[in-house]
Amino acid sequence: MHDFKGRVALVTGASRGIGRAIAVALAQGGASVALNYAGNEAAAQEALAAVLAAGAPKARLYRFDISDSAACSKAVEEVVAEFGGLHVLVNNAGIAIDQLLMRLKDEDWKRQLDVNLTGAFNLTRAVTRPMMKARGGSIVNLSSVVGEMGNAGQVAYAASKAGLIGLTKSVARELASRNIRCNAVTPGFIDTDMTSALPEAARTRMMESIPLARLGSAVDVANAVCFLASDQAAYVTGEVLKVNGGMYM
């Protein structure tokens, strides 16, 4: 268990899956948590209840589109005003619209980059000032094993997640002098709502490529995120932490 007492964390895409697990894990460490979500009100309310039950001193939902720069800036201002600061940002929200390159629509390419990459940029830029004021902070970006190794049918998704790795390393260099760390986690095949929809044949093929011979869990990813966000990783920045069961080394 990592100690986040007195810390305020903003987690994007926190209504379900990996994002919810991260928000709950931060709450278990004593953090107050601001939960971003895009539109699923019922799932967001369930996540909020889970975070409060996990021990968060304070938690609140924030519905906004992370691809909207102005909305991100406004949300960060509201979090800082209501919670008294912002110490941890987890850029988790993302979408995947799978399609072969020659059939990929312009709008589907753009939407994935807007959410997965530009969304992280928008929020990272927005939190820089309050983290500087607090004389420190931690940013953790959720990339993907696909961003490291590529995957047929996921050209846009892979490009956006690879871009997150470049963003992470550049931000780490730029903000290190202000005691703001930036790291990334690259999950592999994780058991979530998104992966459960895959055909059984596809799941079997994927399992064969994982040396640990099991799916990862959202908690596996949350544990890695919490380590990077915590003081235990005080000398870690610009790192890309693989959580993929050995699928890609």
- Which residues carry out catalysis? 157
Q: Which two tokens stand for residue 32?
A: 């107050």
d(CA 102, CA 221): 33
d(CA 74, CA 106): 29
Rg from Cα positions in the chain: 17
> b/e string for 90-121 if b means 16 or more Cβ within 10 A?
bbbbbbbeebeeeebeeebbebbbbbbbbbbb
Quick one: which of 82, 91, 81, 83 has its CA closest to 123?
Answer: 91
d(CA 118, CA 206): 29
Do the Cβ atoms of 21 and 47 come closer than 8 Å?
Answer: no
Do the Cβ atoms of 113 and 67 come closer than 8 Å?
Answer: no
Query: Which DSSP letter does residue 181 get?
Result: E
134: CB partners within 8 A, 6+ apart: 85, 86, 87
First-last CA distance in the chain: 27
